[in-house]
Structure 1
Amino acid sequence: MIIDANSYWFDEHIFHDETLCEQFLAEVPRAYDTEGYLTTNSAGKRQIVIEMPAGSPGLNYIEGDYTLEKRLADMDEAGVDKAILKLPGCHEWMSLEMCRRFNDGMAADAKASSGRLIPLVAVPPFGTKANLEELDRRLDDGFAGVQLCAHYGKRYLDDQVFSSFFEHLNERHVTVYVHHVPVPVENESLLAYDNLRRSYGRCVDQTTAIGREIFGDFFERYPNIKMVHSMLGGAYFAFKEMLLPHGPKRPDASGRFQTDTETVSKRLENNVYFDMSHAQPWGETLLACAVEVLGADHIVFGTSYPVKREWLTEGVACVRATDLSDTDKDLMLGGTAQRLYGIE
């Protein structure tokens, strides 16, 4: 089974319903230097642009990209059996009411797809009664997990403000997909350049998020949660050995590094997983390196569809073209995601 574990879903009605579009854009947190607006692109299609911070476009959604018919046709061309639906970043600031609407839309498309599309719950990450009721209702109705952003405002997920929410996830043994935000909390040096802001900034955000989880007591508090980080954890495989605390060969009183390697390694093994988000930008060499360092049983195939259609339509072939074993390829392309999300 081939599973695309990172397929974006957006409500197409927002492009055509003026009232709904106003409601969606009204939730953009302008008081926190974020801007959002509806415009028309060079191809004549409506698109919503989110600038984070204002003046620096980071997210954009284009009409026609998210229709059920187009998605299923592109999945057929790619040879993808199932796709896990998630929102493209806007859930960082969406209200519960708007999350409910998006959850309804994903559920409707999932039903119409005859089981090929599997949603993740979108809900604000605070343990209020209403938020947890929406979370439980969707999980009980077949949603495969929950989707969160790497940080909300300036707070990463290990912050105590989210503790009651994660306590509930831990009780339910939920798999959590962690999507990068366009720029990390500390971002001043990245804002001037599009590629640094849009691409490298996301990698910094993911690496920061993972580091905070594994070097703190996050997984001591929530041992039953699996966290799936996008963008291969910000290329975490390139830093894993360097970041793992190494004990001194002889007594060393400097105290420069935390040296409890066993504990940190155990958290990575038991609780942290990685979505490649799209195979082609990494290429064969880096994908093979990621498997060697992280293990194919910790990596899932994702395409960020519909950001670039070819990341879906040619993504499976890209993974198959590597020199990895068939077992590793099968794990990456479906087996790991199937286990994490309980997909039959």
Structure 2
Amino acid sequence: MVIDANMYWFPEELFGDREALDRFIAEAPRVYGTNVYLKKGEGPTQIVVEKPEGFPSLNYAEGDYRLETMLADMDEAGVDRAILKVPGCNEWMSLEMCRRFNDGMAAYAEASGGRMVPLAVVPATGGPRVDAEIDRCLDELGFAGVQLCAHYGTRYLDDGLFAPLFEKLDEKGATVYVHHVPIPVDASSLLDYNNLRRSYGRCVDQTTAVGRELFSDFFARYPHLRLVHSMLGGGIFAIAEMLLPKPSRRKDAVQRFETDGGELAKRLREHLFFEMSHAQPWGKDALECAVKVLGADHIIWGTSYPVRKEWLLDGPAFVRSLALSDEDKELMLAGNAKRLYRLD
């Protein structure tokens, strides 16, 4: 079995429903520099998200999210099942808009014959109405978990503002997928260059999010949570040893770093997992290193489809080409997603 653990979904009908589209665009928090607009002209109609204004970060293209096309591409890639996610805009959507998106994903899941399994989107501030939507999605609609963003405004997930939401998710024992935000909170030096902003910026956001979860009391407060971070946690494998230094074997006059007596590594091992957000851009050497550092049982294959179709269509073959055991490849291509998202 092969599972794409990161397939994007967006409601196609929004492009043709002007009233709903206007409502969606109006919810964008312009006061925080997020600008959303409809773009028509050459090529497909797009909903473009700029963050900050003038710097495109997300593009939803009409026709990219048709069920028959998505299923056909899954067939061509040899992908059996897909985890559906909303790409980014859930950072600021109202509960009413989240419900509309959740209903749309549920309809796709039913029409796919179970090949698609969604993750619920909800506002991060929580509360009784949000709790009810989580219960509806997980218990009634059969969703596999909940999707959040790495930060909201200037606050990362360890902030006490989100405690009501995480208390509910911890009670449910839910797997939570944490998607990168287009740019990290501190991003001014990254804005001018597109690839630096759109690729490296996402990695900075994820590494910051993972680090804050590790070093705070986040998992002491929510001991039943499992978080799956996109973009391999921003490439966290490259600096994991640096972030979790062992006590010095030499006597230093000044202790400049917080050393790990085992608790931080335990949090990393028990609570944090990492989705590739497409394999090919990392390259074989980096992916093999990630497995060596983090373990194949902590890494999940995903594609960010339909951002680039080759990431889906050629992705399974790329993972199978890695110099890893067949068991490790199976874990990344299906086993880990089945376990974390409780797929039959």
Bin of the TM-score, shorter chain as denominator length: over 0.9
Query: Displacement of 1:41 after TM fit?
Result: 4.8
- Measured in 1, the distance between the counterparts of 2:15 and 2:239 equals 41
Instruction: Give 3-state SS (helix, strand or coil) of 1:37's partner.
Output: strand
Letter in 2 for 1:304: S
Q: Give the equivalent residue in structure 2 for 1:330.
A: 330
Query: Displacement of 1:254 after TM fit?
Result: 1.6
- Measured in 2, the distance between the counterparts of 1:245 and 1:159 equals 25
Q: Is the 8 A contact 1:110 1:119 kept in 2?
A: yes
Unmatched 5+ residue regions in structure 1?
A: none
- Find out whether 1:72 has 2:71 as its counterpart: yes
1:3-152 equivalence runs, <5 A = 3-43=3-43, 45-141=44-140, 142-152=142-152
- Measured in 2, the distance between the counterparts of 1:88 and 1:179 equals 8
Instruction: Give 3-state SS (helix, strand or coil) of 1:246's partner.
Output: coil
Unmatched 5+ residue regions in structure 2?
A: none
Instruction: Give 3-state SS (helix, strand or coil) of 1:84's partner.
Output: strand
- Measured in 1, the distance between the counterparts of 2:132 and 2:86 equals 20
Q: Is the 8 A contact 1:91 1:149 kept in 2?
A: yes
Query: Displacement of 1:255 after TM fit?
Result: 2.8
Letter in 1 for 2:71: L
- Measured in 2, the distance between the counterparts of 1:310 and 1:261 equals 43
Instruction: Give 3-state SS (helix, strand or coil) of 2:281's partner.
Output: coil
Instruction: Give 3-state SS (helix, strand or coil) of 2:270's partner.
Output: helix
- Measured in 2, the distance between the counterparts of 1:156 and 1:29 equals 17
Query: Displacement of 1:40 after TM fit?
Result: 1.8
Q: Give the equivalent residue in structure 2 for 1:314.
A: 314
- Measured in 2, the distance between the counterparts of 1:14 and 1:41 equals 18
Q: Is the 8 A contact 1:170 1:225 kept in 2?
A: yes
- Measured in 2, the distance between the counterparts of 1:246 and 1:286 equals 24
Taking only aligned residues, the RMSD between alpha carbons, in angstroms, comes to: 0.9
Instruction: Give 3-state SS (helix, strand or coil) of 1:28's partner.
Output: coil
- Measured in 2, the distance between the counterparts of 1:271 and 1:69 equals 36
1:113-262 equivalence runs, <5 A = 113-141=112-140, 142-262=142-262
Superposed CA offset, 1:208-259 (max 9, x none): 0000000111011111100000011101111111111321214445231111
- Measured in 2, the distance between the counterparts of 1:309 and 1:292 equals 28
Alpha-carbon spacing, 1:41–1:194, altered in 2? closer, same or farther (3 Å): farther
- Measured in 1, the distance between the counterparts of 2:303 and 2:318 equals 11
Q: Is the 8 A contact 1:41 1:47 kept in 2?
A: no
- Measured in 2, the distance between the counterparts of 1:169 and 1:261 equals 28
Query: Displacement of 1:34 after TM fit?
Result: 1.0
Letter in 1 for 2:331: L
Letter in 1 for 2:63: G
Query: Displacement of 1:16 after TM fit?
Result: 1.0
Instruction: Give 3-state SS (helix, strand or coil) of 1:120's partner.
Output: strand
